[in-house]
Structure 1
Amino acid sequence: MALVESRSIDYVPLAERHGKVWHLWPIWFTGDAHLATLATGAISVVGGLDLFWSGIAILGGCVLGTVLMAFHCTQGPHLGLPQMIQSRPQFGYVGALLVWVVALITFIGFNALNQSLAASTLRELGGFPERPTIVIFAIVALLVAVIGYDLIHKAQRFLAFAMLVVLALYTAGSFTIVDFGVLLQPGPLKPTLFLVQFFAAAAYQLSWSIYVSDYSRYLPRDVGIRDSFFWTFWGAFVGGAWMMLIGAFAAAAFGTTDIVAALRASGDAMLPGFGLFVLVTSFLGLITITSLNFYGASLTLLSVIDSLSTVTLGIKSRVSALAAVFIVTLSLSLAASGNVLHGFEAFLGILTYLFTPWTAINLVDFFFVRKGRYSIRAMFMADGLYGRWNWRGLSAYALGFVAMVPFFKTGLYVGPIAQALGGADVSMLVGLPVSALAYLLFCRNLDLPAEMQQIDTLDRNLETEPVR
């Protein structure tokens, strides 16, 4: 492989596949083991839920979101494509814009949060000014994303081992500074806060689904669905749940909404200076996850542009897209103000509404309808096998989303069923089955035998000739 990755949204030929399936564990463990994940775990504790019930909500939400995310990861080695391009068979060449625009907003939102957390961390560490810190942090993360896939994987593997040591020491040390018998004493269950935390954790883990295949698409095809699922699930679940639980613990033990300050204070209480070490290690993870977001955003932006006007695939287009995403994200970070944690909670809620129908449709199509049989070339043809607009996917998405509306609970709107449930939002549990069943129903008249016959012809020289 070249020093700088040469591919963008195009197919990765089998001759270029490399890496080991266990590499998925560190990339997603470290992908979750950083400061933004801490903030997710602190949401319910800051709201007034005790640590016991918050911990159960975190674990349950992480299981739900990570299972879905890990199934998406298995698509990467099989198809050799970025995650978002794989939405074209379900939604159409142009119709897939629906989910891509949402994905772009997600990337930008996460990186705006990451850059704000980076500024808070360096202010806590050494009193560094906020705005210059955000700019420098964003530039470093951008450079890693420019180099691309291999550097991101290597950086994540290095940090995974460092974070394992730090988290193990922190967890052991926590028993020396608090009485867990008191701290974990279950109080009254507050259903609304419990469900807020449960679905915040689920949405956070599910949000990786929009680009999880981006980091498995270079793996050999024969790694298998079971192994790629296994390594992804346990990497993301352990990293995500562990960090969220630490965030909940720090907020509960020190009673502050400033999660960075709470983490340092708790670490220093275990051993003088240890809080600084924890923050520095977590900060490095924040750099790499920001790089992952920049990288995924650039591929998604290219997918959007490619649906409107054919682009030349390769390194130039990828770097140009990175530059555009960098400018937008940096501008948003510099303009952000107010309670970041409160805004992040609302942001995760919106992700739940927008990605639940998509993940159901994408997974049902891959595992139950087309069963992994797709034409790679047709995904890059505007008037090809999958058409410009696919009414089946779009209609199933609309039905799933509409079915969720009565269960919504946001600052602007609370659905009637959410009100009847005391403000609890269980919309994800409705959107998943409705979207999945609707898509299965709409695909009953899909002529799959005719479609399968065309695939062999379309992809005959796939390994020797470019997809476009």
Structure 2
Amino acid sequence: MSITARTGDVAGHIETRGIDCIPDAERHGRPRSLFGIWAAANVLYLNFVFGGILMLLGLGLWESLALCVLGNLWWFVIGWIAVSGPAAGTPSVMIMRAMFGVRGNALFGSGLGVLIGLFYIVLNLAFTTLASQALLASVGVVVPDSLAVLLLVAVSALSLIVSVFGHATIEKLSGYLSVAVGLCFAAVAVFVIGATDWSYTPEALPASENIALLLLGFTIVASGPLSWGTSADYSRYLPRATSRGAIVLWTAFGGFVPSVLISAMGVLAATAIDMTDPQTAIAEIIPAWLYPVSLLAIIVGTLANNVLCSYSTGLYAQAFVPRIRRAVSVVIVGVVAAVLACYLLWGAPRFLDTLSYAIEIAVAVMGPLVAIYAIDIVLRRGRYDGVALNDTSRRSPFWYTGGWFAPGTIAMVLATTVAVLMVNTTLYTGPISAALGGADLSSIAGPALAASVYALLWRTMRPYSDPAARPGAADPAAAFSPGAPAHPERHNESIADREPVRSTR
């Protein structure tokens, strides 16, 4: 691959676009390409672990399989969020300025986005390092923990290389990776199904405790799709007139299908092996020749997921310091994540307990954020002005009141607070969850409350905080036809011809 930067989005060359608006002349591609991007990122070992965790909680076989489907239905919301990409031509972190304001987005968009992104990058690096150790051990090379940090550095570098090259390279490689890794997992699935104990029955639990565990399991599975409120990052290069339905379906199915199948495989495997150490225990039910192949598939699949995590988190970080190039922000994020992964692997007390606790807390934040994003697209009818979203001056239509948009701020704070009070983890149980007998409703109540409060406040408070919505002002959401830019009179101008603004490019 060439490391020469080129204008636009070309596979094999470093992407020069970051958080700025993609001009129509550089829009390209078809929505079906989104399937490969999301499938490659979700033919993922973490989904296999999620399936195993459901069984470790004490849930039954069929209950766990049902949760694999229900929790992943959130992928259709992520598909809906992706329609904002072609509409705005900007990544999700910029579009969220419409929901929180220029300053509010620094906290609820950029800030939370970096933290959530780092969390999943750290998980990916940890799993890839463990799988790499197991792979080397399977061929007779034992790597002690004291030297495993070198493996961590190596896998970090591999995922960063592709993330630095950017969107077109990710799109180009995703199709090949999804097929190759998918075939490996399919081969493993044959032996997992053959070893499955279909009569597996866990110890009977009281009805209230079983319901609480079902809700907890739903939260764990839902954390997968809920972590991808950045889906506009990968659709923003599509032409403005691309079918919304196609964007939703190709994005949703790309994440839903592999996530359901692989998490279900984790459930089935848990009836036959100890899922507290799945990357090595899987050797008990597959042939010796397939074990190294399965570990390699885990490594490649997790790296593919990490590429998307690093890419999106780099965009979030760039929104903090716009003068830093996207490629540089990706590298900074990668270095920080590698340091944190060292702690998770060799400093955290119990890996799976730490993982479960962190996921459940993260959902309390991610659920409301995704819900507000999704309902905002409905309220604005999917119309966003990418140039205006890059304007950070007080003249920006997204400056609102003091740089904050009250509906988004209030809805996010209220819904997140309630969701945290509903969380039930191994280390913390919220008072609402305790009052409900341990039931964790955070992944349901948080998003529902966020969407409802935001929609109500958007309609009642917007005229007071948004100059464009005040009496006598033109409302772009009502004035133009679906799919049209918010300022059609400026649509055909070149960027150089437009009035200068304080841009975050």
One of 150, 155, 159 as aligned partner of 2:173: 155
Q: Aligned equivalents of 1:409 and 1:195: distance in 2?
A: 10
State whether residues 58 and 202 of structure 2, in contact with CA within 8 Å, keep that contact through their aligned partners in structure 1: no
> How is 1:118-267 mapped onto 2 (pairs within 5 angstroms)?
118-126=128-136, 127-128=142-143, 129-180=147-198, 182-183=199-200, 190-209=210-229, 211-267=230-286
Structure 2 match to 1:450: 474
State whether residues 314 and 330 of structure 2, in contact with CA within 8 Å, keep that contact through their aligned partners in structure 1: yes
| AA partner of residue 487 (structure 2) | D
State whether residues 29 and 160 of structure 1, in contact with CA within 8 Å, keep that contact through their aligned partners in structure 2: yes
Structure 2 match to 1:71: 80
One of 297, 300, 303 as aligned partner of 2:319: 303
Deviation at 1:157, TM superposition (A): 0.6
Deviations 1:154-195 (A, max 9, x none): 221101112332233333333333343x23799657223222
Structure 2 match to 1:415: 430
State whether residues 50 and 187 of structure 1, in contact with CA within 8 Å, keep that contact through their aligned partners in structure 2: no
TM value normalised by structure 2: 0.84
Unaligned runs of 5+ residues in structure 2 are: 1-8, 137-141, 464-468, 480-484
| AA partner of residue 25 (structure 2) | A
Structure 1 match to 2:38: 28
Q: Aligned equivalents of 1:73 and 1:246: distance in 2?
A: 28
Structure 2 match to 1:308: none
State whether residues 392 and 439 of structure 1, in contact with CA within 8 Å, keep that contact through their aligned partners in structure 2: yes
Deviation at 1:404, TM superposition (A): 2.8
The SS at the match of 1:425 is: coil
Deviations 1:291-313 (A, max 9, x none): 211111110001123xxxxx34x
Q: Does 1:361 align with 2:372?
A: yes
State whether residues 222 and 443 of structure 2, in contact with CA within 8 Å, keep that contact through their aligned partners in structure 1: no
User: Aligned Cα RMSD in Å?
Assistant: 2.3
Structure 1 match to 2:404: 389
Deviations 1:114-155 (A, max 9, x none): 111112111111133421100011011111111111111122
Q: Aligned equivalents of 1:137 and 1:265: distance in 2?
A: 26
| AA partner of residue 163 (structure 1) | V
Structure 1 match to 2:139: none
Deviations 1:412-467 (A, max 9, x none): 54233312332120122222222222222212243446242794278445554388
| AA partner of residue 236 (structure 1) | G
Distance 1:263 1:92, change over 3 A: same
Distance 1:119 1:413, change over 3 A: closer
State whether residues 46 and 256 of structure 1, in contact with CA within 8 Å, keep that contact through their aligned partners in structure 2: yes
Aligned sequence identity (%): 26
The SS at the match of 2:194 is: coil
TM value normalised by structure 1: 0.90
Deviation at 1:4, TM superposition (A): 1.3
Unaligned runs of 5+ residues in structure 1 are: 306-310
Q: Does 1:117 align with 2:137?
A: no
| AA partner of residue 420 (structure 1) | A
State whether residues 70 and 233 of structure 1, in contact with CA within 8 Å, keep that contact through their aligned partners in structure 2: yes
Distance 1:176 1:43, change over 3 A: closer
Deviation at 1:49, TM superposition (A): 2.4
State whether residues 251 and 257 of structure 1, in contact with CA within 8 Å, keep that contact through their aligned partners in structure 2: no
